[in-house]
Structure 1
Amino acid sequence: MPEGARHLWIEGDDGPGRAARAAEAKPTISVDCHRRLRGPYTGLGTVLRHLVPGLTPTERAAAQRHVIEVLVMAPELSGVLEPAPGTLTSGAMFGERTRWYSALRTRRLAHGIIDLLRELRELQDGSADAPLVLAFDRVDEADATDQEFLALALRRLDPARVRLVVGSSGGGSLSEALLGARDEHAEVVELTAAVGAAQEQVGEVDGADGVAARAFVWSECTASDTAADAAAARAYERIPEELRRRLHDERADELEALGERSLHLGAIPFHREHGSDLDGVGRTSMMEAVSHCIGLAYYSAALELCDRLRVVVPEEDFVPYYIVQTKRAQCLAPLNRGEECEPLYYHLLARTGRPELHMSLYYALGMLYTRLYSNERKDHDRARAFLNTSVAIATQLEDPEVRAFQTVFMGNGKALAEMHRGNLTGALELVEGGIARLAADLPDEKHHLHRSVLHHNRAQLLASLGRLDEAMAEFDFVIGVDPYYPEYRFDRGNLHLRLGELEAALADYNHATRLGPPFPELFYNRGEARIALGDVAAAVTEFSYVLDLEPDHLEARISLASLLLDSGEPERAAAVIRTGLVYEPDSARLLCTLGLALVDGGEPQAATEAFDEALVLDPALAEARVNRAVVAYQEGRFESALEDLTVALAQDPGNADLLFNRGLAYEALGRWDLAAEDYAVALLDEHCDQDEVASRRAGCLDALGQGTVTSADPAEILIA
């Protein structure tokens, strides 16, 4: 692969032309990403199904470290890799699932597979001169999961080692993130199809309509790249509806016989939807796919299925209609479309008087206002009102076990609203009451997942209330009952870090990295632990990896730049910050850190400009103001330094460092009395350098007594 090679993007509605151009790149694996084939991860899952079985034992061990990601995307490989240990979430019985993954989970899964591809290439060094080339076609018809993976992979994968060849027909749609990744990281080749010639070849289809239509159905009705495809599609439209439905039934039966789980998220529900029993097996197949997709955080795919179900489930058939609509809302909220949920909930409330449905709908409304809406729309008091209603209804349910569980579940939602209102004690009382009631009123074998959720919530509330020993005991408990859930280890690691138990924090963070796909907060916090342990090199590695995952992670970027500055690498720190400004050009903190790097790099004028920009964006950013004063002092602009330090002291009265710095500026201006006053106030802080400040003050008093003026050294470095 020549130096400077890029990924390849082939654009155009000429399918054979795209395939021929992709073949020139000599792909190792070529896949069709059309979501109708296997739903979420149609493309990436197919890559894994081809790649993993042929791995060497050493390479397979690497794949085993990413088994969660691999088996979620390609469940058919469950006989090739050992399954990951289950969690209470993954193993919850039907009707007991009360925890749902964030929409960010698929992003974490994608990052894990990208890491795996990198690891495999590392293991192959010396045995493979050419890059691993993966070709993905029809990505504009791909599910959001495949598009998300490709957007990340185009950025994170080095095309000299793993090269992506991406084909887009232009017939579907591409996410904004994928379009941006294409433009930044790929060479784009645009093809022009011979549209006229293709149309001329289509002609009229003869009596073999049934054969052609069958071929079209066996393509899952996706074939569209050639004249023959177009002819088959026309034949499909011409044959009798009864025959079309029978063909879909046959194809669904054939696919089901394969026993491949991923087909049940794409082709099988599609064919059942268009088969002869839509109201029976069709609805069932689609609803099962919806539930499976929601359980794995495939919210875009589930939403598309719900929208298709809305057409065939009438409002008069209220219970199925209610289920479809509420599952649709369950997808809209994590996709940042929560504002579409509220009118839907009111619509359902107006069409039923069933208490248990009203209970669930009022709970859902409460979650919108305390958890799911943007900060501007949140209203925790309104949420509490809705949740009070859901609790009240729960207490009136007839079945004693259902009444106990639902009262506790709804009360846990109310606890969230109370916590957000700042009523931590009230939230804790609700959670502890729920734990006690489940223990008293339900058999021990029921609702293990929600019991663990309550204990986890109790641990977090105890930590927030400063009851740290009790919180630690509670984290120990939830890890004991659900040892493979990574967030529990992460949260306990955070508490260890807060307590200064650095080795214990590091052990929990390390354990969490082995329990699931990567998420940036884990590695950022592990970097903080590394700093506290004095391992700067390891912390640099952690923060660099966080930025590899998510380049817009502000805290990691500032932490990395600060470590580089402390290590005497201002140029490298400046480069890190300038990259960050591409993502957040209006970040005052980034501009301030850039100013620090420029100071250390010997560029005071550019540093001042960076501090100026930072203070325009955030006039209260003391660090930028103080460091601008430092530069001004060093350049002999004492009045400017004095002005900034005076403003900084107004923001932080009595700060001994600022008083000392302003004293130096007053000295430089020969204002001995004001300098002596600042030094005198600074001396009230026992943590200041008492000897240095006292010496300065004595010099000022001496100068006042003698009536002579001796300038302070303009090279004196102020405390930044």
Structure 2
Amino acid sequence: MTARHLAVTGARAADRRAALDAGGPYEFTTTCHQWLRGPCTALTALLHRYVPEAWEAGPGLVDEHRATLLYLVPDLSERIGPPPPSLVNDTPHEERTRYFAERMIRATSHGVVDFLLAHARRRPGPPPALAFDDVHAASGTEQEFLALLLRRADPRVLRVAVAVGEGPLIPELAGAIGEFTASVAAPATARPAPAPDARAYVRSDCTSDDVEAYAAYRALTEEARAALHDERAAELEARPDRGLLIGAIPNHRERGADPHGAGRRALRTALELCVAIGYSEATVDLGTRGRALCDPDADAEDYCHFTAKAASALVPLGRYEECVSLYRELRRRYPTPRVQMSTSYALAVLHTRFLEPRDHDLALEHMNNARALAALEPDPVLGAYYQVFQDNGLALVAMHRGDLELSHDLTTRGIERLERELPPDRYVVHRSQLLHNRARVRFALGRLDEAYADFTELIARDPHYVEYHVDRANVCRRQGDLAGALAGYDRAVQVSVPMPELFHNRGDVRAEAGDVEGALADFARALDLEPGEPAPRLARVALLIEADRPREALADVRAGLGLLGEDARLLCLAGLAEQALGRPEPARACYDRALAADPSSVPALTDRAVLTFEQGDPRGAVADLTAALALGGEHPDVLYNRGFALAAAGEAGQALADFTRALALPGADLAGLLCRRAECLAGLGESRRAADDLHDLLRLHGAGLLPDAEPAEALGLLKELDTAGVGGGRDGGGR
């Protein structure tokens, strides 16, 4: 890019706005202060500005991004219609058991960037310019969106300005501002001081940085301040703006005349909205604030709810110890079956999935306790639901303990029981989760036809849920049905917000199907979304080398190393690219760097061994391959290569031992190993055993068990043995 975005820094909002205006003009300017509309203050305003415009220009673009746009701003449905149907959206709140994690929010932010860039490209006239103020006061979610927008938006297509005051920025946004913007410090200018206005401070929803207004606000009596907050809250509650329910309204009600009543209710409403969308940081914040307004005894239900939701939201943030602490507090405080049941389940999941070291035995203890308590529920519908829910948890623990058959049995019996004992319209989402879990266990068990049938049933029930399409595509791929796998990934991309793993996985299948350009395009899309993600970059570099495009591969390696540092995997691929270009010394330097970065890198040792052998040093190759086997354990290909190098070094006996060990391992190259072992045996004077190996190879090939084997080498070796009079083999017959 030659043009750059703009970053303005300054302590005072008025100074920042003046500097922004000097860098304008902007057709859209907004604040990002999370006290207004919570995690998506600016995004809400931004989409309300541009979605209707895009809809009027032609609904196709909006329809393409409908799931993204309505996920973040459901209010837009009044203008553009409803979101795609889903079981979660149609499920009563109290029966919902599926929630989305932080990665869903990040992918949705990518979807908004896609929408804005596409809309900007099709608009006539100069590129739109967008300005965002109060970025320091934005939520982590919104700061992440701005980081993605600054990185992905070409200023010649869409220009962005961010204004930052005194406050923390997430590292990703700080890095994006440093790399993609021209930074300007807003000069401090003298302005006439307005009369102190406490009411104006409250009506700014407490976002004003006017110190005189804040001082006047603090000088009011507690009752007067509370009255101003209640007045403002009532005014905002009359507006049809869902975002205010997350931000300004609970902020005011907390500070109003009834914080323990109206404030607590407003926080609980905000909490439910954030839980449903997956705003983990906001959920923790609201849960903590809600707990503070509850009397643990008089308000036990709300206290438990705020605590449990905050604890659950700590998991995707990786704050596991805090999570455990909250659950254990509830267990100490409330000796009720439901609290003990739900916290036992939650702790079991933490121990079997997240905490290190994993403790599946302790998880089983907790889950058994949850299951026993579920049996105490007297309501027949709730009792069946609770018991099957805990059985599903037991199935998860069983899977992690390696007992897939038990996991399959538990989920199957749970499905059958809910069908038998619950009305068909109750707990529909959980029924789908049970079926999904069984399908994945069947996939793990290799029962692919049954897994395919389960995933097909899930897609029929909830056709816009992306995981079902991905999982069924994986079944197709395992079955060798690449066309079916590609169709599944295509549909997953259509129904999903943009997730890099979807494009990476589809790229892998395209590469396997021989569609090099399609695969490279998918890997490029994944890297456009997340350039620091190693998997698609490694896949693209490997494919470029395989496609005999080593110079492009090296350019990609350089870009990857700039983001990932001395990554041993990339350096190994760089060595292969250098070898493909006929440059052995730079290749060796790459392998040496890879081993310096990761001394346990088996690929670096094996690749360097191949290069060493090609340079005429078989004993040096043996040394590297021996080290690789010590680090990675016995692998048939590594044993094959070491045997080959040993044979070249004149160590036929040791080579014979390596070939024999390799032949006993799964995944071995039987044809190559049998030929190499036959050569060793012949060299050691055991021509009869050599002929036996070659006849075994030819029989396997003739039976179709080695369809890709080339029998010509075996036939040639047999001919040499025939000359010595021993080519007949065990049955005395030649071929």
Regarding TM over 0.5, the answer is: yes
Q: Tell me the C-alpha RMSD between the 2 structures.
A: 2.9
TM-score (ref. length: structure 2): 0.86
Residues in 1 aligned to 2:570 and 2:720: alpha-carbon distance in whole angstroms: 39
Partner of 1:11: 9
1:26 aligns with 2:21: no
Residues in 2 aligned to 1:169 and 1:267: alpha-carbon distance in whole angstroms: 20
Q: Read off the aligned partner of 1:641 and give its amino acid letter.
A: A
Contact 2:54 2:61 (8 Å CA) reproduced: no
Contact 2:3 2:156 (8 Å CA) reproduced: yes
1:455 aligns with 2:435: yes
1:224-269 residue CA offsets vs partner (Å, 9 max, x unmatched): 1xxxx32222222222332322222222222122211111111111
Q: Read off the aligned partner of 1:115 and give its amino acid letter.
A: D
Q: By how many angstroms is 1:53 displaced? A: 1.8
Q: By how many angstroms is 1:41 displaced? A: 1.0
Q: By how many angstroms is 1:452 displaced? A: 0.6
Partner residue of 1:179 out of 174, 180, 186:
174
Q: Read off the aligned partner of 1:253 and give its amino acid letter.
A: A
TM-score (ref. length: structure 1): 0.88
After superposition, the Cα gap between the structure-2 partners of 1:633 and 1:349, relative to the gap in structure 1 and judged at 3 Å, is closer
Contact 2:568 2:594 (8 Å CA) reproduced: yes
Q: By how many angstroms is 1:57 displaced? A: 4.4
Q: Read off the aligned partner of 1:414 and give its amino acid letter.
A: L
Q: By how many angstroms is 1:139 displaced? A: 1.0
Contact 1:675 1:697 (8 Å CA) reproduced: no
Partner of 1:559: 539
SS at match of 2:93: coil
Q: By how many angstroms is 1:690 displaced? A: 5.2
Partner of 1:526: 506
1:594 aligns with 2:597: no
Q: Read off the aligned partner of 1:602 and give its amino acid letter.
A: G
1:22-53 residue CA offsets vs partner (Å, 9 max, x unmatched): 22232221110000111121012211111122
Partner of 1:298: 279
Q: Read off the aligned partner of 2:318 and give its amino acid letter.
A: N
Partner of 1:245: 226
After superposition, the Cα gap between the structure-2 partners of 1:348 and 1:661, relative to the gap in structure 1 and judged at 3 Å, is closer
After superposition, the Cα gap between the structure-2 partners of 1:43 and 1:660, relative to the gap in structure 1 and judged at 3 Å, is closer
Partner of 2:685: none
Q: By how many angstroms is 1:404 displaced? A: 0.9
Residues in 1 aligned to 2:375 and 2:242: alpha-carbon distance in whole angstroms: 40
Residues in 2 aligned to 1:546 and 1:381: alpha-carbon distance in whole angstroms: 39
Q: Read off the aligned partner of 1:280 and give its amino acid letter.
A: G
1:134 aligns with 2:91: no
SS at match of 2:430: helix
Superposition map of 1:541-556 within 5 A? 541-556=521-536
Worse overlay, 180-189 or 321-330: 180-189
Partner of 1:88: 87
Partner of 2:609: 629
After superposition, the Cα gap between the structure-2 partners of 1:700 and 1:138, relative to the gap in structure 1 and judged at 3 Å, is farther
Partner of 2:261: 280
After superposition, the Cα gap between the structure-2 partners of 1:459 and 1:670, relative to the gap in structure 1 and judged at 3 Å, is closer
Superposition map of 1:483-562 within 5 A? 483-562=463-542
SS at match of 1:510: helix
After superposition, the Cα gap between the structure-2 partners of 1:313 and 1:699, relative to the gap in structure 1 and judged at 3 Å, is same
Contact 1:140 1:173 (8 Å CA) reproduced: yes
Partner of 2:326: 344
1:161-219 residue CA offsets vs partner (Å, 9 max, x unmatched): 2222111111x32112222222222222233535xx57xx659x6xxx6xx22221111
1:389-417 residue CA offsets vs partner (Å, 9 max, x unmatched): 00000011121211111001111112111
Q: By how many angstroms is 1:465 displaced? A: 0.7
Residues in 2 aligned to 1:108 and 1:622: alpha-carbon distance in whole angstroms: 34
1:260 aligns with 2:247: no
1:654-702 residue CA offsets vs partner (Å, 9 max, x unmatched): 95796478647855x6889988997641664846655447768999999
Q: By how many angstroms is 1:573 displaced? A: 0.6
SS at match of 2:95: coil
Residues in 1 aligned to 2:617 and 2:137: alpha-carbon distance in whole angstroms: 62
Partner residue of 2:458 out of 478, 499, 503:
478
After superposition, the Cα gap between the structure-2 partners of 1:671 and 1:475, relative to the gap in structure 1 and judged at 3 Å, is closer
Q: By how many angstroms is 1:20 displaced? A: 2.1
After superposition, the Cα gap between the structure-2 partners of 1:96 and 1:360, relative to the gap in structure 1 and judged at 3 Å, is same
Q: Read off the aligned partner of 1:157 and give its amino acid letter.
A: A
Q: Read off the aligned partner of 1:111 and give its amino acid letter.
A: H
Residues in 1 aligned to 2:530 and 2:285: alpha-carbon distance in whole angstroms: 28
Q: Read off the aligned partner of 1:132 and give its amino acid letter.
A: P
Q: Read off the aligned partner of 2:83 and give its amino acid letter.
A: A
Q: By how many angstroms is 1:115 displaced? A: 1.3
Residues in 1 aligned to 2:450 and 2:713: alpha-carbon distance in whole angstroms: 45
Residues in 2 aligned to 1:619 and 1:693: alpha-carbon distance in whole angstroms: 39
SS at match of 2:102: coil
Contact 2:625 2:638 (8 Å CA) reproduced: no
SS at match of 1:80: helix
Partner of 1:355: 337
Worse overlay, 546-555 or 146-155: 546-555
Contact 2:19 2:186 (8 Å CA) reproduced: no
1:446 aligns with 2:426: yes
Residues in 2 aligned to 1:94 and 1:673: alpha-carbon distance in whole angstroms: 71
After superposition, the Cα gap between the structure-2 partners of 1:269 and 1:17, relative to the gap in structure 1 and judged at 3 Å, is same
Residues in 2 aligned to 1:326 and 1:422: alpha-carbon distance in whole angstroms: 29
Contact 1:64 1:82 (8 Å CA) reproduced: no
Partner of 2:670: none
Unaligned runs of 5+ in 2: 660-674, 680-692, 698-705, 724-735
1:332 aligns with 2:314: yes
Partner of 1:706: none
Q: Read off the aligned partner of 1:113 and give its amino acid letter.
A: V
Partner of 1:165: 161
Residues in 2 aligned to 1:251 and 1:614: alpha-carbon distance in whole angstroms: 61
Contact 2:470 2:492 (8 Å CA) reproduced: yes
After superposition, the Cα gap between the structure-2 partners of 1:573 and 1:252, relative to the gap in structure 1 and judged at 3 Å, is same
Partner of 1:392: 372
Contact 1:659 1:681 (8 Å CA) reproduced: no
Residues in 2 aligned to 1:14 and 1:654: alpha-carbon distance in whole angstroms: 64
Contact 1:675 1:700 (8 Å CA) reproduced: no
After superposition, the Cα gap between the structure-2 partners of 1:659 and 1:143, relative to the gap in structure 1 and judged at 3 Å, is closer
Q: By how many angstroms is 1:154 displaced? A: 1.9
Contact 1:46 1:74 (8 Å CA) reproduced: no
After superposition, the Cα gap between the structure-2 partners of 1:253 and 1:470, relative to the gap in structure 1 and judged at 3 Å, is same
**When the two structures are aligned, how many residues end up with a matched partner?**
680
Contact 2:198 2:217 (8 Å CA) reproduced: yes
Partner of 1:145: 141
1:133-171 residue CA offsets vs partner (Å, 9 max, x unmatched): 21111111011211111122222222222222111111x
Partner of 2:75: 76
Partner of 2:592: 612
Contact 1:645 1:662 (8 Å CA) reproduced: no
Contact 1:12 1:18 (8 Å CA) reproduced: yes
Residues in 2 aligned to 1:251 and 1:570: alpha-carbon distance in whole angstroms: 64
SS at match of 1:84: coil
Contact 2:642 2:655 (8 Å CA) reproduced: no
Q: Read off the aligned partner of 2:491 and give its amino acid letter.
A: H
SS at match of 2:340: helix
Contact 2:5 2:180 (8 Å CA) reproduced: yes
SS at match of 1:41: helix
Contact 1:52 1:60 (8 Å CA) reproduced: no
Partner residue of 1:309 out of 247, 265, 290:
290
Worse overlay, 607-616 or 349-358: 607-616
SS at match of 2:130: strand
Q: Read off the aligned partner of 1:69 and give its amino acid letter.
A: T
1:219 aligns with 2:204: yes
Contact 2:8 2:16 (8 Å CA) reproduced: yes
Contact 1:663 1:676 (8 Å CA) reproduced: no
Unaligned runs of 5+ in 1: 703-720
Worse overlay, 80-89 or 40-49: 80-89
After superposition, the Cα gap between the structure-2 partners of 1:613 and 1:356, relative to the gap in structure 1 and judged at 3 Å, is same
